[in-house]
Chains A and B, each alone.
Chain A
Amino acid sequence: MVIVHVVVTALLGVGVFFTLVGSIGLLRFPDFYTRLHATGKCDTLGGGLIILGAMIYHFFEYPGTLLVVAKLAFLIFFIFIANPTATHTIMKAAYKTGVEPWRLGEERR
């Protein structure tokens, strides 16, 4: 049982690390389009890894209720489809409304 706890702790730790990197990128990048790069990619995988760790913990700790594992698997699948689509839609709205992209050497906005 110790090996299961080590694996779940490692997965949760890596997931929280990627979520933290996405949030730091949201603060540090100089332009709207680059901030969407940071959040749209890192938050998807971070959330997915956290839920994957919880799924493995449930599979070994409460055997006999496999329906919850299937529900969490569907949640991961939904996050991997929905987050990039929402990112693309908000970027298309910004591009068509006229937000200018940032080039190297300009100031922050």
Chain B
Amino acid sequence: MITIFWITILLIAITMGLSLYRGVAGPGVFNRVAAVNIIGTKTIALLVVMGYYFERPYFFDIALLYAMINFIGTLVFAKYLERGELWS
């Protein structure tokens, strides 16, 4: 079973690398924001599987916290790009 977790971690890391190409070469800022949001979502799944691979139960709290940080970060970025300022 540990081998299955190791293969899953490797495959998720490969998909993160594929999304990173869009984050570097996407024309304009919106493609890059979408790529960063996707890498954040994949990080949550990666953290949960790593918690089982290394047999440490504290990774799930970090995954929950990073899910909220990723969500708030994308919302703040989108609000700034729409209005040109954060507080009016």
Consider the complex of A and B and state whether they touch directly, i.e. have CB atoms less than 8 Å apart.
yes
Chain A residues proximal to chain B, CB less than 8 Å: 5, 8-9, 12, 15-16, 19-20, 22-24, 26-27, 32, 35-36, 39, 43-44, 46-47, 50-51, 54, 57-58, 65, 68, 71-72, 74-75, 78-79, 82-83, 85-86, 89-90, 92-94, 96-97, 99, 109
Interface residues of B (CB under 8 A from A): 1, 4, 8, 11-12, 15, 18-19, 21-22, 27-28, 30-31, 33-35, 37-38, 41-42, 44-45, 48-49, 51-52, 57, 60-61, 63-64, 67-68, 71, 74-75, 77-79, 81-82
B interface secondary structure, majority: helix
- Contact among B15, B21, B57, B74 with A19 in the assembled complex (CB-CB below 8 Å): B15
A101 CB to closest chain B CB (Å) equals: 12
Contacts of A90 in B (CB 8 A): 30, 33-34, 37, 74, 77-78
Best-buried of B45, B49, B51, B74 by chain A (most CB within 10 Å): B45
A9 to chain B, nearest CB (A): 5
Task: Establish whether residues B78 and A93, one from each chain, have CB atoms under 8 Å apart when the complex forms.
Answer: yes
Task: Verify B42–A47 contact, CB threshold 8 A.
Answer: yes
